[in-house]
């Protein structure tokens, strides 16, 4: 083969190999670490689907600073050790930002990797301890327990006028953090906790915990478990004829819980940071788009994944460049208006710890649907 021809072929091969690499280098890599199997599969799948929808919309509109988003997906198997390994791999693969895990126990372990590499990490975890460790690269997509529980306690004390409460919680980082936060908030509102009922993650039989709740004789029951367990608890409460008010946080009245618990979910009341049934045109439009994409109704995790990507977009645009440190710094004190950035759905602001503030809702399940009873203002609103 003549030397000139060999040279041209070699050059063509080099170009063919280089172009995809250039395109990849120009993309904004988001690594998704989600619970797609195991006890957190429902929550993780919803969160992933929300991220998928936001990425699709943003890329269709031209990307961020003219660059498209590349979304990779990994299954943590709801295992903190697996999540930590996948976080390290995502960093090795050049992730600009990491989304997930959703479960508090997993993010508490995996975020050490993203912090070490100075990679912004958005999580659906709600355990208060997540943002109390001084990690400047961790950001929430939902309320922390320390901001949500005072709203629940206030409703129990003034709305239900309860004097005593039984607390049923899942014995993991998420559940124990919620138990501690609601106990402290109830005490501050003059309500006494008369029963502390621990359950296991993935627990199937709730007959014994429900019997303890009945025997406690409290004015109300507070339930704080994962979605599947919440549905099982509600079915057992109905089976054993429990008649006192059942109150919880977001995981008690999500759509997945309603679907699994059926008629037994009716009457359950909860404070929720996000709901597709909020009286908000942007939220209702999101609900329709999510259903069109997935044939499922989004729960709070779907909304968290979706809005989290738009918050990242706002932070990158505020920083004005694709620089991880600059974007993490831009998140401090970031306020995003839904009027200017509709993808965030609700006006939202962040503090210097990565915690967020926005409107929230008090809902009750009626006829198999969440019904918003009251819109609660952001904590920062005077």
Percent helix, strand, coil in the chain, to 5, is 50, 20, 30
Cα angle 95, 353, 342 (rounded to 5 degrees) comes to 65
pTM over 0.75: yes
Nearest to 123 by CA among 109, 105, 143, 102: 102
Question: Is residue 77 a contact partner of residue 35, using CB atoms and an 8 Å limit?
Answer: yes
C-alpha 315/C-alpha 169 separation (Å) is: 35
H or E stretch at 262? none
115: phi then psi, degrees, rounded to nearest 5: -65, -45
pLDDT tens track, the chain, 382 positions: 454 555 545 555 444 444 444 444 579 999 999 999 998 998 999 999 999 999 999 999 999 999 999 999 999 999 999 999 999 999 999 999 999 999 999 999 999 999 999 999 999 998 888 999 999 999 999 998 888 999 899 999 999 999 999 999 999 988 999 999 999 999 999 999 999 999 998 899 999 999 999 999 999 999 999 889 999 999 999 999 999 999 999 899 988 899 999 999 999 999 999 999 898 999 999 999 999 999 999 999 999 999 999 999 999 999 999 999 999 999 999 999 999 999 999 999 999 999 999 999 999 999 998 899 999 888 776 5
Residue recorded with tokens 């309860």: 162
């Amino acid at each position: 083969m003549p030397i000139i021809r060999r040279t041209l072929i070699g050059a063509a091969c080099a170009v063919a190999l280089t172009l995809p690499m250039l395109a990849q280098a120009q993309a904004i890599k988001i690594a998704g670490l989600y619970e797609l199997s195991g006890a957190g599969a429902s929550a993780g799948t919803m969160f992933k689907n929300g991220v998928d929808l936001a990425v699709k919309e943003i890329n269709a509109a031209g990307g961020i600073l003219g660059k498209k988003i590349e979304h990779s997906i990994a299954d943590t198997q709801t295992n903190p050790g697996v999540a930590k390994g996948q976080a390290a791999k995502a960093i090795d693969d050049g992730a600009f930002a990491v989304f997930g895990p959703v479960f508090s126990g997993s993010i508490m372990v995996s975020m050490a990797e993203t912090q070490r590499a100075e990679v912004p990490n958005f999580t659906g975890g709600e355990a208060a301890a997540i943002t109390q460790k001084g990690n400047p690269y961790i950001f929430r997509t939902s309320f922390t327990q320390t901001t949500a529980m005072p709203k629940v306690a206030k409703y129990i004390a003034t709305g239900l006028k309860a004097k005593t409460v039984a607390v049923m919680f899942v014995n993991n980082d998420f559940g124990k953090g919620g138990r501690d936060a609601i106990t402290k908030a109830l005490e501050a509102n003059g309500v006494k906790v008369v029963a502390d009922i621990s359950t296991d993650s993935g627990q199937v039989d709730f007959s014994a915990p429900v019997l303890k709740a009945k025997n406690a004789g409290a004015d109300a029951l507070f339930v704080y478990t994962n979605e599947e367990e919440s549905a099982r608890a509600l079915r057992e409460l109905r089976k054993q004829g429990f008649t006192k008010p059942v109150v919880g946080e977001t995981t008690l009245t999500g759509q997945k819980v309603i679907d699994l618990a059926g008629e037994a979910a009716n009457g359950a009341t909860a404070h929720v940071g996000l709901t597709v049934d909020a009286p908000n045109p942007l939220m209702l439009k999101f609900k329709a788009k999510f259903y069109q994409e997935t044939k499922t109704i989004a729960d709070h995790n779907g909304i968290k994944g979706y809005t989290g990507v738009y918050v990242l977009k706002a932070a990158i645009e505020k920083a004005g460049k694709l620089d991880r440190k600059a974007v993490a710094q831009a998140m401090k004190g970031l306020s995003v208006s839904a009027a200017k950035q509709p993808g965030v759905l609700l006006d939202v602001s962040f503090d210097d710890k990565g915690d967020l503030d926005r409107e929230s809702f008090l809902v009750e399940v009626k006829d198999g649907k969440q019904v918003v009873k009251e819109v609660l203002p952001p904590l920062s609103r005077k």
